[in-house]
Amino acid sequence: MFSLSFTKQDIEFAEIKSHGMKENDYIELKTRLLNECHQVQKKVVDSAKAAMDDTQQALNEYGPNKDRYDSFRDQLISKRDMFSTQYQKAHSELTVLNKVNSKNINKIAEFGAVIITDSCRFFISISAGKITIDGHTYYAISPMVPLFKAMEGLKKGDSFEFNGKRQTIQDLF
């Protein structure tokens, strides 16, 4: 879980951006957010793949079972399988990112939308965490998290409450 904190600059930016952006600005920002998410997720995929390959290499070097109860080999196999699962999950998240259309201007809070509230900015895609673009913070969140569920289907000007905090959607694209 992450903690949300906002500066006066963040809130002022949300107010300015909600009134001064054109469609091309929206598309450019969404494309940059999407590219940043791709980079973050690609690192996760590469890291899991490298760990899986390293463990497989150690397993190959160790050789066949030394005896019937070879716990070290079993540990290596479990470790490799764990990294394999992480790799598959990270790769599937990358596939989900490929479904985001950065040229689509969303009218409601849904997958692929950028949502600017009076206190925070969100990119509904995958759980990639905090992303900074032009000195401003966005949170890439999955459409499966409770925070998104609280705002799902809402439009610009609508309000929602999450963890006792009320937020109003100032812009959505």
* Segment 92-108, tens digit of pLDDT: 999 999 999 999 999 99
Q: How far is residue 5's CA from residue 113's CA, in Å, rounded to a whole number?
A: 21
Cα torsion through 84, 88, 128, 171, rounded to 10: -170
Q: What is the pLDDT of residue 55?
A: 95
Q: Report, as ranges of residue numbers, the positions in the chain whose pLDDT lies below 70.
A: 1-20
CB burial class (10 A; 0-12, 13-18, 19+) of residue 127?
middle
170: helix, strand or coil = strand
Q: How many CB atoms lie within 10 A of CB 168?
A: 13
- Residue 31 tokens read as 């494309």
Q: How far is residue 125's CA from residue 113's CA, in Å, rounded to a whole number?
A: 8
pTM for the full predicted model: 0.79
Q: What is the pLDDT of residue 20?
A: 59
Q: How far is residue 58's CA from residue 73's CA, in Å, rounded to a whole number?
A: 9
Sign of the torsion angle spanned by Cα atoms 145, 2, 134, 96? negative
Q: What is the pLDDT of residue 111?
A: 97
Q: What is the pLDDT of residue 27?
A: 94
Asked if 111 contacts 125 with a C-beta cutoff of 8 angstroms, the reply is yes
* Segment 77-94, tens digit of pLDDT: 999 999 999 999 999 999
Q: What is the pLDDT of residue 23?
A: 87
156: helix, strand or coil = coil
Find, among 171, 84, 86, the residue nearest to 122 by Cα. 171
